């Protein structure tokens, strides 16, 4: 089974809320909420992929030194296996905005469970909630 490496981030604002992004129509798992991030390209580190994705999707800049490894997800879908490190980030430049048209929500950690998520993201919620 093909392994797909995806980096994700829990952006945490000064009020302790976590950013979720809703998968847009036309993509697999459309309508579900997830931690921002994306696929790691060949030759790219997970941190570099996340920095690139945050610029493309949310119009913000951050640095590898601001990405703290928190946990990871390992989940088998029908046609691939997803390996997804989750980083925590509290520092970035710019204002978070939806650069690709997806809905965004700043969510209190105890409310994360109220948002429907892809199966790979679900186990990350308890870990993140307990950490925060």
| Cα–Cα dist 49/94, whole Å | 18
Q: Which helix (H) or strand (E) holds 20?
A: strand 18-22
Domain boundaries, the chain: 3-131
Instruction: List, for residues 6-56, the tens digit of each pLDDT value.
Output: 999 999 999 999 999 999 887 888 889 999 999 999 999 999 999 999 999
CATH 3.90.79.10 fits 3-131, yes or no: yes
Q: Hey, how many other C-beta atoms are within 10 angstroms of the C-beta on 44?
A: 15
Q: Roughly how many angstroms between the first and final C-alpha of the chain, as a whole number? A: 34
pLDDT at residue 21 in the model: 96
* pTM of the predicted model as reported, rounded to 2 decimal places: 0.92
CB-CB contact of 43 with 5 (8 Å): no
Q: Tell me, what DSSP letter sits at residue 36?
A: S
- Alpha-carbon distance 42 to 34, whole Å? 23
Distance CA 122, CA 132 (A): 16
């Amino acid at each position: 089974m093909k392994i797909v490496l995806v980096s994700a981030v829990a952006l945490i604002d000064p009020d302790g809320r976590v950013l979720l992004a809703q998968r847009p129509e036309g993509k697999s798992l459309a309508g579900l909420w997830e931690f921002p991030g994306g696929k790691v390209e060949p030759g790219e580190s997970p941190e570099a992929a996340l920095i690139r994705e945050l610029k493309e999707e949310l119009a913000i800049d951050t640095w590898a030194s601001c990405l703290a490894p928190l946990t990871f997800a390992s989940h088998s879908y029908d046609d691939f296996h997803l390996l997804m490190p989750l980083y925590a980030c509290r520092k970035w430049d710019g204002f978070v905005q939806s650069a690709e048209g997806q809905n965004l929500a700043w969510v209190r950690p105890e409310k994360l469970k109220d948002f429907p998520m892809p199966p790979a993201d679900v186990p990350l919620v308890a870990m993140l909630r307990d950490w925060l």
